[in-house]
Chains A and B, each alone.
Chain A
Amino acid sequence: MNDKYNILNLSTINELKEILEDDIFAIYDEFQTSTKKMLQDLKKAHEAGDSNAVLHLSHTIKGSCSNIGLQRIFEITRQIENGLRENTNPDIARLIQETESAYTATLAALKAEGLLP
C-alpha cells in the first residue's frame, strides 16, 4: 500500500547534488551499507519483541532517509514510529517487510539516477 509514495524525493536529491557535487556518492554508498544493517537490526528487534529498539531504529532510519530524499523508506518508517508512539497497534511485521522492499526499490532507483554504481 505504500507503493503510492515516490521512491525518491528528487528535489532534495538535486539540492544535495548541487551542493555536494561528487561528494554525494559517498552518502548513498553509506546509505546502502548502514541502512541494510539497520533493517536487519530492526527485524531482529521486532522478532525479539523489543519495541523500544524498534522505535529507536525506525526513528533513525526515518530521519536519515528523509534528509537525503529517500521518500518511500521515510514514509514507511514514520508509520512504524508513529504507530508505536501513539499506540495504534500497527502491523509492524508488514511495515518492516514493506521497508525492506522499499530499500531494494530505492537501490534500483538510485542506480538509475546514477547515484549508486
Chain B
Amino acid sequence: MIQLDKKHINNTRILVVDDDQLTRMTIKKILQKAGYQVTDTDRGDKAISLCINELPDLVLLDLMMPGIDGYDTCKALRQVADYNQLPIIILTGLDDIESIDKAFESGSTDFVTKPINWSLLTQRVRYALRTKELFHELIKSQQKLTRAQNLVRIGYWELDCETNIISLFDKTKYLLGLTSDAYPMNELLSHMSDIDADRIRHCIQTTIETGTPYTIDHSFINHDGVALIINQQGELSDQHDRKLITGTIQDITERKQAEELIYFHRYHDPATSLPNKEFLQLQLDDLIRQDQGEFLTAVISLSFDKLRSIGGTIGEDFINQFLRQSCERLLRRIPEIRSISRISTTTCGFLLSNMHTIEQIELICNLIINYFIEPLSINNHEYHTTLSIGITVYPIDDSTSLIQNAIIAQKVCFSQGGSRFLFYSFDMELDTKKQISLESAIRRGLENNEFHAYFQPQINTSNEQVTGMEALTRWITSDGEIIPPDKFIPIAEETGLIIELGIEIMKQSCHFAKQLQDSGHGTIRVGVNLSSLQFSDKNLLTTIDNMLADSGLDPSQLEIEITESIAMTDISHAINTLKNIRSMGIKTSMDDFGTGYSSLSYLQKLPLDTLKVDQSFIRPIGENYENSEIARAIIAMGKSLNMHLIAEGVEEAHHYKLLKKLHCNEVQGYYFSKPLAQNEFIRFIEKKSYLKH
C-alpha cells in the first residue's frame, strides 16, 4: 500500500497522462512549480506500466486519447492491487456530464473540467491527496481496531427477540470455535452449563423488560470441546420496530487463568505449593463468620523443631521437601485436618473445626506428636524430628489474633524443649516479650564478653589424674548476675546466636587447654559441646581448624561432644561430619548416651572415640550398687565397641568406687568438682584437692 500520509509534498509523485502535448506540458510545469515530482506520458498503455514501475501518488488522466482511452486506463489501474486507493483525477470537457459519470464508474476519484482553471488545479490535487491520506488513516485505524479486537478476543452479536436468532458478526464465530454466522439462541446456550444458560436467559429477559444492560461471565464449550470463559455484555436496541439485543462477547479464558494464578500465588507458598498464612487467615475468617456457637475451632501452629538445623546442612530444598512430606503424612492420618498452610520456614498451621471439647483437641495433638516418632524418609535418608505445637481455641481465645497467639504458644513450647503441645495463655505473651529482650541481652552479652567457658575436671580412674575437662557455658552479666544455661541456650538456638556463642566458648577452651600445657599443668583434653545448629553449620570444620591454629592447641587435645539426638536427627550427616572431625586428629564423643532413641546399630556406625554415660544412670546408684544395671550395661557395651568411657554425675564416693571397678575410664561430677572458672581450675589441679580418698 502506498504510504502517502507520511510523505512530504516534495516526495509526492504525480503522473500526467494526456495526448495533447501542450496541455500536458502546461500541467507538468504548474505542478512542478507547486513542488510535486511529475512524470508525463501521452498514452494509456504507457501510463499503466509507468504506474507499476514508478508508484505515483496521484494520476491526472485525459479521457480522450488514441489507443487505450482514459476509461480503460482507469479500469486497468484499479486492477493493480496496490492501486485501489490511488487518486485518479480525470480531465474532461465542462459540458460532458456523461463522460464524467462513465469515468466515475471506471474508478476515477475526481474530475477537472477543461478549459482548466489553473489556480484550482493544484488545489484539486492537494485535496485528492489529503482525502487519500484520510482514507488511509481510516483504513489503518480500522485495521488497528480489528487487530485490537482479535487481540483481546472480542466479538459482536445481535439477538432478534422475535425469532430468537443470534447473529454473530465478523470473526465472532471463530472466537467461539463455531462455523455459522447465525444460530438459534437455544443452540448456543446448549454449549454451556444449564446454570449458565439459565443465568443468561434471565439476563436477557430482564433486559427486554427493563431496558437495563447486563454483563455476565459464563462458560462456553466450543466444537473442539475446549472450555472457554466468556464475558458477555448486552443491551437493548430498538431498530425499525424490531426488538434487538446487541452486545459483545470477550474470551477472557486467559485472563481468568491469570487471575487464578495470581490468586494461587497470593495464597500459596511458592516453594512447596502449600497454602500460606494468608490462606489460613481466610479459612479462619470464613469459619468465624459462619460460626453458630455450637463447636470449638482450634488454630494449631506446628513447628518441626530440628528442621532448621537439618536444613542448614542440606539446604532449602530439603526443608521444602520435608515440609511437604510431613504435611502429607498429617493430612493422610488425621482426617480432621482439611488443609495445612505453611506459616514460616519450619512452621505449619491448620484448623481443627467442629471440635466438641478441649480433650478432643488434646487427643488429636497427641496423635500428631506420636505420628512423628517414626522417622521421615526423604531421598532414602531417615530423619527424626520432634514437634512443638501451639494452640488457640475459638471462641475461648481472642478472635483477632488466633493465629499469632498459636504461634506464640508454639514458640514457648519449643523453648521448653518441644515434643509436646501447649494452649495459649496470656502469660505467654509476656514470656515472649521477655524472650525478645533476652535475645537482645544475649547479643549485648556476646559483644561485652559476658559469656565464659567454665571447666569441669574429668578424672582418670586408673591414675586419678585430671586428664580431661568439659567446657560449659556461663553467662555473667555486667551487673554480676549469673544466668543459668537453660534460660538462654534455647533462645540462642532458636535465634541462631548459638553459633557465635559456640565459637566464643570453643575459642576460650582451646586457649585455656593450650595455656595449661604451656604453664606445665600437663596435657589436659578439653571437651566442647556442639549444638545442633553448629553441627550442621557448613563452616564448622573451618571454624575448628581456625581455633586450633589460633590457639596452637594440638588437635588430639580437643574433643567435640554431640548429643545423641543431634546424631540421630540425620544419621548420615552425623557420620560424615564426625569422620571429617576425626580426620583432623580431633576426638569425638557422644554426650547423654542412652537418654534418647539411639540403638546399638546406630552407635556402631558413628565414628566415635568416647561415650559419655549420662548422669541419669549414675545418680540413682545406691551405696550397695543397686540401680546400677543400666550403667553397667552401657559401660560393657562401650567397652565392647572399644570406646573410651566417661561417666557424668558422679556425686558420691560409691559412684566413683563402682565406676573404677567397672573400668570406666574417666569420671566427672560434683564429687570431685563443680565446673570451675579458669583460675579456680588451675588452683584445683595445683592443690590436687580432688584426691579425697
Contact = CB atoms under 8 A, between A and B. Distances in A.
Contact of A67 (B19, B23, B33, B64): B23
Interface stretch (B24-32, B327-335, B369-377): B24-32
A34 interface: yes
Interface string B97-139: 0000000000000000011111100000000000000000000
16 contacts: A15-B118, A16-B26, A16-B30, A20-B29, A20-B33, A26-B25, A27-B25, A30-B21, A30-B25, A63-B23, A64-B23, A66-B115, A67-B23, A67-B115, A68-B22, A74-B115
Contacts of A23: 29, 33
Given A35-B22, A74-B115, 18 more contacts: A12-B115, A12-B118, A15-B117, A15-B119, A19-B30, A19-B33, A23-B33, A26-B29, A27-B22, A59-B64, A63-B20, A63-B114, A64-B21, A64-B22, A66-B115, A67-B23, A67-B26, A67-B114
Interface string A13-48: 001100111010011001100110000000000000
Contacts of B20: 60, 63-64
A20 B30 contact: yes
A100 B26 CA distance: 23
Contacts of A15: 117-119
A111 interface: no
A65 to B, nearest CB: 8
A59 B19 CA distance: 11
Interface in B18-58: 19-23, 25-26, 29-30, 33
Given A59-B64, A66-B114, A66-B115, A27 B19 contact: no
B417 interface: no
Contacts of B64: 59
A67 B21 CA distance: 12
B29 A67 contact: no
A77 B235 CA distance: 68
Contacts of A34: 21-22
A60 B21 CA distance: 9
Nearest to A71: B115
B121 to A, nearest CB: 9
Residue among B29, B33, B64, B115 with the highest chain A CB neighbour number at 10 A: B115
B66 interface: yes
A31 B22 contact: yes
Nearest to B64: A59
Contacts of B30: 16, 19-20
A12 B19 CA distance: 21
A69 to B, nearest CB: 8
Interface string B241-265: 0000000000000000000000000
A-side binding surface: helix, strand, loop or mixed?
A: helix
A49 to B, nearest CB: 19
Given A12-B115, A12-B118, A16-B118, A67 B25 contact: no
A21 to B, nearest CB: 8
A31 to B, nearest CB: 6
A16 B20 CA distance: 18
Q: How large is the interface on A (under 10, 10 to 19, 20 to 34, 35 or more residues)?
A: 20 to 34
Interface string A46-64: 0000000000100110011
A67 B116 contact: yes
Nearest to A24: B29
Contacts of A74: 115
A81 to B, nearest CB: 10
A35 B25 CA distance: 14
Nearest to A27: B26
Most chain B beta carbons < 10 A, residue from A21, A34, A67: A67
B426 to A, nearest CB: 101
Contacts of B117: 15
A23 B33 CA distance: 9
Nearest to A63: B20
A30 B29 CA distance: 13
Interface string B616-645: 000000000000000000000000000000
B367 to A, nearest CB: 104
Contacts of B115: 12, 66-67, 74
A23 to B, nearest CB: 5
Contact of A19 (B23, B66, B114, B119): B119
Contacts of B29: 20, 23, 26-27
A19 B118 contact: yes
A58 to B, nearest CB: 12
B217 to A, nearest CB: 66
Contacts of A19: 30, 33, 118-119
A59 to B, nearest CB: 7
A74 B116 CA distance: 13
Contacts of B26: 16, 27, 67-68
Nearest to B32: A23
A62 B136 CA distance: 38
Interface in A51-98: 56, 59-60, 63-64, 66-68, 74
A21 B118 CA distance: 13
A34 B118 CA distance: 21
Nearest to A9: B115
In the A-B complex, list the 4 residue pairs whose CB atoms are closest, starting with the nearest. Answer: A64-B22, A66-B115, A64-B20, A64-B23
Nearest to B115: A66
A25 B30 CA distance: 13
A20 B26 CA distance: 9
A43 to B, nearest CB: 19
A27 B230 CA distance: 70
A21 B33 CA distance: 9
